[in-house]
Amino acid sequence: MTDSNKEVIMIIAKLVIISIVASALLGITYVPTQKQVKINYELARQDALKEIMPLAVNFEAVEGGIINDEGDREIYYYRAFDASGNPVGYAFFRKQVGAQGMIEVAGGVDAKFETLTGMTVMSHSETPGLGAMIVTPDFKNKFVNIAIADLSLSSAGGKIDSITSATISSQAVVDALNAKIEEVKDAEG
């Protein structure tokens, strides 16, 4: 074997070794971090449910078909019960297109579909200082114990004041809640 051949083989061997070490490192990091991501996701959902329905202690998921290999099922919405087991309403998550990207909101409605018990934003990519204001307590408090009939922007005759220069984001939140409340109402008959 000539020297130049040897050199090429050395170079290739080094590249291969580095690639293998790199993939191994990534694999080692991937498993625990993915676990943590799943835990974070579940915790965030539990917190959100408690926040939007302070009266409820138990949430029973209404499930749909299987959505992934691990056998997780799609959750349509939750039936909420208080400490003595009486139904107090329904809680749900819904994704809606905002001004910049998807907004995921959580909402709760009472058992008679008359009052919204609360709203919170799970994730969004709206402009900081504008659309991103949908996560502020000021905005969220507007949705606490409000009649479903009044659940639209004040410009459209409702009782929700839009965030200044962020009508699209505010509208998306309102639309998401209204659309999902309709769906739950239909499902519950």
Partner 1 sequence: MADSMKVWSEFIRGITKDNPIFGLVLGLCPTLAVTTSVENGIGMAAGTAFVLIGSNVMVSALRKQIPASVRLPIFIIIIATFVSIVDMLMEAFTPPLYAALGVFIPLIVVNCIIIGRAEAYANKNNVFYSLIDALGESAGFLLVLMLIGGIREILGTGKIVVFGHHLLSVPIEPATVMIMPPGAFLTIAILMAIVNHRKARKLARGG
Partner 2 sequence: MVEKALFTILMEGLFIKNFLLIQFLGLCSFVGVTKDTKSAAGMSGAVVFVMALSATVSYLLFTYILVPLKLEYLALISFIVVIAALVQLVEFVVRKNVPSLYRSLGIYLPLISTNCAVLGVVLLNVMADYSFSQSIVFGISAGLGYTIVMLMMSAIRERLTLVNVPSAVQGLPHAFFIATLLSMAFVNYFRVIPI
Chain residues that interact with partner 1, rule: CB under 8 A: 7, 10-11, 14-15, 18-19, 22, 25-26, 29-30, 32-34, 36-37, 40, 44, 123, 125, 127-130, 165
Calpha distance 143→102 (Å, rounded): 20
Q: Closest Cα to residue 54, out of 89, 95, 12?
A: 89
Q: Which is nearer to partner 2, 67 or 147 (CB)?
A: 67
Contact 166, 131 (CB under 8 A): yes
Binding-site partner at residue 145 among partner 2, partner 1, none, CB < 5 to 8 Å by type: none
Find the shortest distance in angstroms from Cβ 19 to partner 1. Answer: 6
Find the shortest distance in angstroms from Cβ 32 to partner 1. Answer: 8
Q: Which is nearer to partner 2, 23 or 46 (CB)?
A: 23
Calpha distance 17→123 (Å, rounded): 40
Find the shortest distance in angstroms from Cβ 43 to partner 1. Answer: 10
Question: Where do contacts with partner 2 occur on this chain (CB under 8 A)?
Answer: 22-23, 26-27, 29-30
Task: Enter the DSSP assignment of 128.
Answer: T
Find the shortest distance in angstroms from Cβ 129 to partner 1. Answer: 4
Pairing verdict, β 115-123 and 102-110? antiparallel
Binding-site partner at residue 141 among partner 2, partner 1, none, CB < 5 to 8 Å by type: none
Q: What one-letter code names the amino acid at 22?
A: A
Q: Which is nearer to partner 1, 62 or 168 (CB)?
A: 168
Contact 139, 153 (CB under 8 A): no
Find the shortest distance in angstroms from Cβ 12 to partner 1. Answer: 9
Strand order in the sheet with 58-66: 58-66, 73-81, 87-97, 102-110, 115-123, 146-147
Binding-site partner at residue 27 among partner 1, partner 2, none, CB < 5 to 8 Å by type: partner 2
3-class SS of residue 16: helix
